A and B are shown apart, each in its own frame.
Chain A
Amino acid sequence: MIYKSVTEILEAIKKKQISATEITKEYLKRIKASGDLNCFITLTEDSALNRAKEIDKDISKNNLKPLSGLPIAQKDIFCTKGIKTSCGSKMLDNFISPYDATVVDKLNEAGTIMLGKTNMDEFAMGSSNETSFYGAVKNPWDYEYVPGGSSGGSASAVAARISPCSTGTDTGGSIRQPASLCGICGLKPTYGRVSRFGMIAFASSLDQAGLFTTDALDAAVLLKEISGHDPKDSTSSTVEVPNYHDYCINSDKKNFTVGIPEEFVNDLNDDVKNSFYESVKILENIGCKIKKINLKHTGLGVSAYQVVAPAECSSNLSRFDGVRYGHRSKKSESLESLYRESRSEGFGKEVKRRILVGTYALSAGYYDAYYLKAQKVRNLIAQDFSQAFEKVDLILGPTTPDKAFKIGEKMNDPIAMYLSDVYTVSTNLAGLPAMSIPMGFKEGMPLGLQIIGNHFDEKDILKLSYLYQKETDWHEQVPGA
């Protein structure tokens, strides 16, 4: 019984062809058989089975919710009440959250069953999942390769079909880049579309929760359930949440004007370029109009991002001081040593680097030159996009400059690691929604196509992805099959 997609699972449960308990057991079995991938930090087997039982009871009473019985994996950045929430860090290795994140709340409310908490780069800082305290996650297409990051565990799990879907977070590409490297769909919604409450903050003005699925329709179904204003998150939007799934299926829109920024395609290697332009051809055949555009300042995206994100992170991570929760060093004879030793033992190298860079960028004498300047560059980049969206409906490019790299390859070269986000960071700076969908392979490793939409236009991103996936079968390729 290989259920390929979320929509198929929901349909089967609805028709009582399978019970929530059966499907949950099936995925738990698959997870256990794939331990080498290292996708999960915590497996919540008992609570998943208990919950499946309850849901089966509900279903027998015809009390069906939109996602009743759907197993899901949660990135370990989302707080889950009574369950360890580590954020991939030694700092929170012993942290049991006293509350549920809004995303977790909403998914529970919709009837999903949490299989466990997925591995990730420490505090979501990384593009390879190698900075996790719990070890690197492997790419199911080839265990020698990284799955991308920071949401590597969530991406790898869906790619390996050991979870039908999962949550992720995207601050500079942390959903789209691993989706691309693992050959699945990864959707980062508009900033403010999904509540950040209970999602451990990395860079508050860039972080956004999103999803991994195998196809666009699945993402559409899930997005509706996690979106909407949350009174607990001042930055969450009150813009109405449409029925993305019905829009994908029913709207007859197909002649999108799609912009291709020169800046995203000029430096591509031949394999990525070929895959990309084949995809463009498919879209033209569907009826899309292709337009060359420019996003002049996106070249500065990584630089601006590497100021803004560390600056915010340096402040956001100050709460991890060993006083109220989290790692407390045994070498705490004074308050100063409690702070310094706890934080130095609890944080890994990359996290410390970013805290130091962020502290520098905010410190007296450098604030204007770094932080303020970066926020101005951010505005330039946002303006590029808003001007582009006056001419086009959607923007298209590759998600990453290349296929996945090998584990260990970029670990000692932070700059090379940062540059793997070159096509993804700008949309975070501008707060735009974007999705990566599979568009082919290079030497057996997947490549991703990035579709960027205007603010709150997730529905058209999903619609175009849906149309593309009707014409292609990249998203149906399964590793090891």
Chain B
Amino acid sequence: MWETVIGLEIHVQLATDSKLFSSSSTNFGSEQNTQASIIDLAMPGVLPVLNKKAVNMAIMFGLAVDAKIADKSIFARKNYFYPDLPKGYQISQYELPVVYDGELEINLDGKSKTIGITRAHLEEDAGKSIHDLFDGESAIDLNRAGTPLIEIVSEPDMRSAREAVTYLKKIHSIVKSLGISDGNMEEGSFRCDANVSLRKPGEDFGIRAEIKNINSFRFVEHAINYEVGRQQDILESGGAVNQETRLYDPKKDETRPMRSKEEANDYRYFPDPDLLPVEITKKQISEIKKSLPELPDAKKERFILEYGLKNDDAEILSSSLDLSEYFEKASINVSSKFQLLANFILSEVVGLSNKHSLDISKSPVTPDEIAKLVTYVSDEKISIKQAKEVLNESWQNKTNVDKIIKSKNIEQISNIDLLSDEAKKILEKHPKEVQDYKNGKDKLMGFFVGQVMKETQGKANPKALNEILHKLLKGE
């Protein structure tokens, strides 16, 4: 009876070498304040100069989500005090953002839906405050201050936590495919705020709560689901939801109001007088358009056409740049069994990488090795079960696939003469069972297979063996 309404604000750090308005490095993890230049520190008298690559990256994103690109874009100051914000204002965009009016189609449970993208604007990141380093004091590291971000603001078009996560993942895969962000959520390169409200279907939007800085796909789903439950309880007991900013606590799996952040702030946006209007020409846009890499949707279509993959598998593979790259590298060495390769990667390799929380791009088993395993399976050299075992061992010991197969002597026996000899021996040994089988006790086929497997230490190709046994039993 309640409809959930969700809008997301996604902050994406852009993969530039230097900061948005200064030439200091954007590297992650340097010693504190060694990447904060006089400009990032807001020394008296310093001025910002805009990074061209950041603008181009924002345009790339805009083109990828069918958005409009402003021919004239303006930077504004958002004024508030915080120690991680050295100037006392953030240079952001307010009126005339670089990107506006875009949209993105998402697919969930076989249904597709379009999510509106209100705008995507450039802004600078803040530094970091560390509260547990010194007694009674907070420590400020401004290395991150000034790192370029695009903030992608969606329309309140999502109706469930799963839709929100699907949209978020798709944006993630787009920015990674475009190469404009490393998308690293742990290091904060890709962060999400969720605006959540409830309403009765058909009524106006309810009052929303903003959940800040949720840093994993899983937490987004949890945080939204928690928040939906919380608001529902309030509304159903006749209360009203507060318009407020809340933090998600993954340990307790709950959201709570932020304690001190700005009592009713007024950001006093105005055009930054240190920066002039940015002009974006048609020529610049068309050049960027030409250089755009393949995007997930186009890739999915190509995977279906080129590799004959099932729709759902193509969708999953293309939704992640790491995954699709892994698949395509392996596919080079797989002659035709692409669906088998896709199945193997999606179930086995992805399974292992999830289990070990390791990006598939960092998998110890290379795509070439996977290609070998899949080829052996399709050539019936090894069984699929054996392939899984080899993969597991290869993942753990980082030994190559051929070595493992050799050392374990697990190559399948597919030679028909050899298998026939073994099968004959077994049938001769068990005349009673042969007679029973012929009298209709079909189940005994399993017994014969089992006996041959026992003799061959499980290396018999089960499919070939079955055929041979059928033939022998019928023929005699």
Contact = CB atoms under 8 A, between A and B. Distances in A.
A393 B266 CA distance: 46
B73 to A, nearest CB: 14
B391 to A, nearest CB: 54
A371 B271 CA distance: 11
Interface of B: 38, 41-50, 77, 79, 81, 83, 86-89, 138, 140, 266, 268, 270, 273-276
Contacts of B79: 314-315, 318, 362
B94 to A, nearest CB: 11
A275 interface: no
Contacts of A87: 44
A196 B77 CA distance: 19
Given A315-B89, A318-B88, 9 more contacts: A97-B43, A97-B45, A198-B46, A235-B276, A315-B88, A319-B42, A319-B44, A319-B86, A362-B270
Which 8 residue pairs across A and B have the least CB separation, nearest first? Answer: A318-B88, A204-B273, A205-B273, A362-B268, A319-B42, A198-B45, A200-B44, A200-B45
A229 B317 CA distance: 51
B42 A335 contact: no
A321 interface: yes
A197 interface: yes
Majority secondary structure of chain A interface residues (helix, strand, loop or mixed) = loop
A98 interface: yes
Contacts of A312: 273
Interface string A178-202: 0000000000000000001111110
Contacts of B46: 197-198
A405 interface: no
Interface of A: 78-79, 85, 87, 92, 95, 97-99, 101, 196-201, 203-205, 231-235, 311-312, 314-315, 317-321, 323-325, 335, 339, 359, 362-364, 367, 371
17 contacts: A79-B44, A196-B47, A198-B46, A199-B45, A200-B45, A204-B274, A231-B49, A232-B47, A234-B50, A312-B273, A315-B88, A319-B88, A321-B88, A324-B42, A324-B86, A362-B79, A363-B266
Contacts of B138: 335
A197 B266 contact: no
Nearest to A203: B273
A364 B140 CA distance: 30
A234 B273 contact: no
A363 B274 contact: no
Contacts of B86: 319, 323-324
Contacts of B87: 318-319
A234 B88 contact: no
A197 B43 CA distance: 11
A78 B46 CA distance: 11
Contacts of A325: 43-44
Contacts of A205: 273
Contacts of A234: 47-50, 274-276
A311 B273 CA distance: 11
Contact of B270 (A92, A197, A201, A315): A315
A104 to B, nearest CB: 10
A87 B276 CA distance: 26
A453 B33 CA distance: 46
A318 B81 contact: yes
B38 A99 contact: yes
Contacts of B88: 315, 317-319, 321
A347 B274 CA distance: 23
A364 B264 CA distance: 11
A197 B140 contact: no
Contacts of B83: 321, 323, 335
Given A323-B140, A339-B81, A367 B270 contact: yes
